[in-house]
Amino acid sequence: MHWLERIGLSPRGQARIAALSDSHAERLAEIHAGAFARPWSADEFSHFLLDRGIRLDGLLIGRDPQPSGFALSRVTVDEAEILSFAMARAVRGRGYGRALLAHHLQTLAHAGAATVHLEVEEGNAPALAVYTRLGFAKSGMRPGYYARPDGTRAAAVSMTRVLRPSGPAEPG
């Protein structure tokens, strides 16, 4: 069975999770720039790729050798924080983001994480939907945490997920 089907998705086009290298840094920066107001450069992604505390999973679709999405986290002893998670605009809403994040949680569990934390902008419905479906629960709010391009500020929702020591990443 295809790995997307195992988590309840039909594979719309062959997709796979791959370890990334420096040759992917430019595409990662492009995806990030298409998703967030404050873009990270290719150099910043190159540094992340060399950082032993960082776990970075990419999702590749079809014959494209470059990623269409990524999830990037820092693992410190038994805690992980998701620092960035984005899909290219053209492939959003097809279930790939959820599949990628489910796999990424397994990566974090294998790296020793027992708890995963993240922050997401209040009102980011697609991201909140993915996180909730994957078992994250709200753990707090930070009012005015994000600066929007129009000068207004938005609250951050803090979310946490406890990982089972050796179980699957999908919520039970």
For position 96 contacting ligand COA by CB under 6 A, the verdict is: yes
Give the x-and-dash track for 41-80 against ligand COA (CB under 6 A). ----------------------------------------
Q: How many helices (H) and strands (E) does the chain have?
A: 5, 7
For position 130 contacting ligand COA by CB under 6 A, the verdict is: yes
Q: Could you give the angle at which helices 25-33 and 42-50 cross, rounded to 10 degrees?
A: 120
CB 162 within 8 A of CB 114: yes
For position 85 contacting ligand COA by CB under 6 A, the verdict is: yes
Closest by CA to 74, choosing from 58, 99, 51, is 51
CB 59 within 8 A of CB 87: yes
For position 32 contacting ligand COA by CB under 6 A, the verdict is: no
Closest by CA to 119, choosing from 75, 157, 160, 81, is 157
CB 64 within 8 A of CB 81: no
From candidates 49, 72, 120, 163, binder to ligand COA by CB under 6 A:
120
Contact region for ligand COA (CB under 6 A) — 40-48, 106-114, 128-136, 137-145?
Answer: 128-136
For position 160 contacting ligand COA by CB under 6 A, the verdict is: no
For position 86 contacting ligand COA by CB under 6 A, the verdict is: yes
For position 92 contacting ligand COA by CB under 6 A, the verdict is: yes
Question: Which residues bind to ligand COA, rule: CB under 6 A?
Answer: 35, 85-87, 92-98, 120, 124-127, 129-130, 133
